């Protein structure tokens, strides 16, 4: 078991207690596969659990203190620490609840007809009640899910860490932890760092580097980028092309936010790029662009749609038309105003309690 430092980064600019009056399952929210840079930094079994990530270019730390013994009691308190006082111009008191998606009404995830039809399933999913849809940085979400095709979540996390390490700006490092070559993004050290990654990825790669800007990835040599993308050069080239488009303004992610743009238009825009299909576009829309009705279908979702609801597809492989059809059928069965959140909750339940996948 790794030796966890007690207080990782530098000085905190802000520490605050944030009362939370709605259900929140912080651990499930951070580790249900929608975010890849969050890390638990407290020792195993220690309560409260402490989590860190680089968010908005700053280190954000969250831990949840419950005000009652009930594990999912609506009343809880978040201990928030950050290396800045605000993120994206917003004070943390406003930013954190918005970032964690606490404004969604989780009581409405499963409407009464669904509850009465699938009582056992709903009961099982309630174990993760309070799982939320986060509002993550669009570009980071986009690149992260482009790394996701045919990979396990563990491998996705590694790719995202490598990208940050190779191309992102380093944050101020804690004095007792030495990072090899934190001063510059030294490409020539990447191969050695690959072998050291099992050791360093526990925290350094997660909390010591900002996620690269579009400009940084657009300027990256494809060969080095390939080293970060599981040695898949096609994926590296696709990622570079997308980063170039964001950097030169031809792809404006902010214009695709749910407030400004319907879901169909956002996913069509994303799917014009090589390397982005329906599933990845839906993930970006759901986790990075606030499209609450997006419903990504991956191999796990396909499995539970079949196993729990009997929704099968005629074809072995999920064709574009088959994807859209299955998507609509799933939304019909759920009948939920929060289809995306319902899907994510079921995704997590399937992986944890049916497939028994512990690793995130």
Partner DNA sequence: CCCCAGGCAGCGC
Partner DNA sequence: GCGCTGCATGGG
Q: Which residues lie near DNA (CB under 7 A)?
A: 32-34, 148-156, 226, 230-235, 271, 273-281, 283, 296-301, 303, 314-317, 319, 321-322, 343-344, 347, 351, 357, 359
**Do strands 14-20 and 76-82 pair parallel, antiparallel, or not at all (unpaired)?**
antiparallel
Nearest distance, CB of residue 293 and DNA, angstroms: 14
**Minimum CB distance to DNA, residue 78 (Å):** 22
Query: Cβ closer to DNA: 80 or 160?
Result: 160
Q: Which is nearer to DNA, 33 or 138 (CB)?
A: 33
Smallest distance, DNA to C-beta of residue 27, A: 15
Which lies closer to DNA via its Cβ, residue 257 or residue 357? 357
The span from the CA of 217 to the CA of 168, in Å, is 9
Q: What SS3 state is found at 77?
A: strand
In the complex with DNA, the residue whose CB is nearer, 8 or 100, is 100
Query: Residue 10 or 192: which CB sits closer to DNA?
Result: 192
Among candidates 176, 170, 164, which has minimal Cα distance to 140? 164
Q: Closest separation between CB of residue 292 and DNA, Å?
A: 14
Task: Please say which residue, 172 or 321, places its beta carbon nearer to DNA.
Answer: 321
- 3-state SS assignment for residue 43: coil
Phi, psi dihedral angles at 74 (to 5 degrees): -60, -30
Q: Sign of dihedral through CA atoms 197, 133, 215, 171? A: negative
Ordered alpha helix ranges (H), 248-296:
263-271, 278-288
**Distances in whole angstroms, Cα of residue 183 to Cα of each of 57, 64, 178, 209, 263:** 17, 34, 12, 11, 41
Asked if 212 and 163 count as a contact pair (C-beta separation under 8 A), the reply is yes
Cβ 234 to DNA shortest distance, Å: 5
Cβ closer to DNA: 8 or 323?
A: 323
- Nearest Cα neighbor of 169 from 188, 157, 184, 190 is 184
Which residues, 6 or more positions from 67, have their beta carbon under 8 angstroms from its beta carbon?
73, 75, 76, 77
Closest approach, Cβ 331 to DNA, in A, equals 14
Q: Residue 171 Cβ, how far from DNA at the closest point, in Å?
A: 26
Cβ(78)–Cβ(18) below 8 Å: yes
* DSSP run (H or E) holding 112: helix 112-117
């Amino acid at each position: 078991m790794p030796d966890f430092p007690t207080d990782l980064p530098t000085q905190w600019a802000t520490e605050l207690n944030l009362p939370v009056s709605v259900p929140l399952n912080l651990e499930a929210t951070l580790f249900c596969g929608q975010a890849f840079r969050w890390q638990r930094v407290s020792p195993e079994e220690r309560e409260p659990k402490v989590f860190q990530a680089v968010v908005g270019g700053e280190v954000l730390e969250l831990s949840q203190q419950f005000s009652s013994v009930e594990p999912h009691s609506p009343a809880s308190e978040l201990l928030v620490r950050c290396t800045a006082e605000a993120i994206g111009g917003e004070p943390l008191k406003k930013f954190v609840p918005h970032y964690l998606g606490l404004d969604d009404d989780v009581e409405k995830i499963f409407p009464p007809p669904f509850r009465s039809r699938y009582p056992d399933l709903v009961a099982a999913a309630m174990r993760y009640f309070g799982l939320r849809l986060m509002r993550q940085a669009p570009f980071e979400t986009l690149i992260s899910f482009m790394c996701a095709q045919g990979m396990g979540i563990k491998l996705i996390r590694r790719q995202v860490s490598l990208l940050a390490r190779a191309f992102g700006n380093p944050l101020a490092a804690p004095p007792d932890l030495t990072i090899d070559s934190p001063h510059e993004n030294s490409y020539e050290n990447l191969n050695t760092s690959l072998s050291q990654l099992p050791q360093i990825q526990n925290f350094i790669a997660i909390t010591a580097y900002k996620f690269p800007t579009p400009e940084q990835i657009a300027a990256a040599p494809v060969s080095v980028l390939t080293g970060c993308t599981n040695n898949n050069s096609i994926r590296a080239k696709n990622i570079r092309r997308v980063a170039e488009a964001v950097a030169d303004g031809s792809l404006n992610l902010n214009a695709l936010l749910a407030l400004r743009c319907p879901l169909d238009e956002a996913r069509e825009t994303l799917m014009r790029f090589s390397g982005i299909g329906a599933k990845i576009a839906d993930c970006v829309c759901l986790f990075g662009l606030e499209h609450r009705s997006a419903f990504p279908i991956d191999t796990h979702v396909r499995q539970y749609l079949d196993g729990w609801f009997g929704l099968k597809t005629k074809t072995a492989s999920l064709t574009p038309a088959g994807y859209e059809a299955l998507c609509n059928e799933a939304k019909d069965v759920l009948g939920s105003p929060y289809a995306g959140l319902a899907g994510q909750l079921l995704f997590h339940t399937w992986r944890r309690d049916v497939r028994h996948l512990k690793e995130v």
